[in-house]
Structure 1
């Protein structure tokens, strides 16, 4: 029987490096799939929890938040697009247009894990990242969230009912608080077997090395 590595992937779909990290993680898991089973849980983190309806222009947001010039932001975005492509995500060539609140997306991810399974949650996670960064559409428009749900093979009517109400609000808030209290302040943060922390968009080789070391301890 193969050992199991539990992975808590703490992230936000508004985080481009989370897409890069996820793609690299998938490559690493594929490399070691014959040696170990992986149990991946996607945990919520909001980079911009107070972002109002309508969002904010992406360039404006990034220059204000990080004190960068417009040119520096564009250089950074070009670098991230290259890294994302290597990780399996083809970001929109013009970049995301606006930055949006992602709480509803986190509620849908919680639902996918609870009422389906972790594989469906992972599929939805990829589709939401695709919606945000590859399609670069309006995340405040519920239709775009529902389209992601449909592409992931989940019940779009159930998803719409969740978006129309407040289901899973307290559960997502509780999970966010758990990881904030644990000291998580940046994403992606990847916790292995609830003991070991990897932060940032690690390359596949770093994940493989961490997994191999962990397998020896199991």
Structure 2
């Protein structure tokens, strides 16, 4: 059976990254009899400046995109509908604040060494979009780690240190230099890039085409 490697470049603060992965899961489920998948997550920061942490999300998006808060609210409501259809909890999407995700990315790297990278990413998505929790807070991140069965004290120790900081920065630099300027982005077999939260059928077609190449 063919193995397809997918390197996912994403940010925990990106709703479309959560939607994109839910769609990717549907595509992988459809292809389970044809191919297996190897997934690795890579860091990208939408809000890399910690000084910008804590602003109400609708206000921040309105300023960033030059659109009214009402337009941004409608946009977020549309994402909530899509997420609900995919079984994602986006109930607090419009109540969250901008957050710096650097430490969350460090903890995702640590979780990856325990074979729990995807679970950690999902726990962070749930905390931020489902509960509007402060995903920059060590206590929130430790709680996310514990929710997937990882050791809270070890997670706390990682956050109190600078472990994985260099790894995250190298990750971000590598993919920016490779041309990733928006997320989610899927690098397939280290060769092809699929950008955006594509629908499952689109992904299925792309994976079949890639897998059929000699």
Deviation string, structure 1 residues 57-106 (Cα, Å, up to 9, x no partner): 11111011111101100100010001112222121256242010000010
1:5 corresponds in structure 2 to: 4
Provide, for residues 181-217 of structure 1, a one-character-per-residue CA deviation record: whole Å limited to 9, x for no partner.
0011000011110111111110111111111112212
- Offset of residue 24 of structure 1: 0.3
* Counterpart in the other structure of 2:114: 116
Instruction: Give the Cα–Cα distance (whole angstroms) in 2 for the partners of residues 106 and 142 of structure 1.
Output: 12
Superposition RMSD in Å: 1.3
Judge conservation of contact 2:106–2:164 (CA < 8 Å) in 1.
yes
Pairs aligned (count): 214
Greater than 3 Å deviation, 4+ residue runs? none
Q: 1:140 matched to which residue of 2?
A: 136
Q: Distance in 1 between matches of 2:31 and 2:62?
A: 40
User: Which residue of the partner structure matches residue 37 of structure 1?
Assistant: 36
2:125 counterpart (129, 136, 139): 129
In 2: Cα distance, 1:54 partner to 1:95 partner: 16
The aligned residue for residue 82 of structure 1 is: 81
Counterpart contact for 1:53–1:140, Cα < 8 Å: no
Question: Is the aligned partner of 1:182 residue 2:182?
Answer: no
> Per the alignment, in what secondary structure is the counterpart of residue 52 of structure 1?
helix
Q: Is the 8 A contact 1:20 1:87 kept in 2?
A: yes
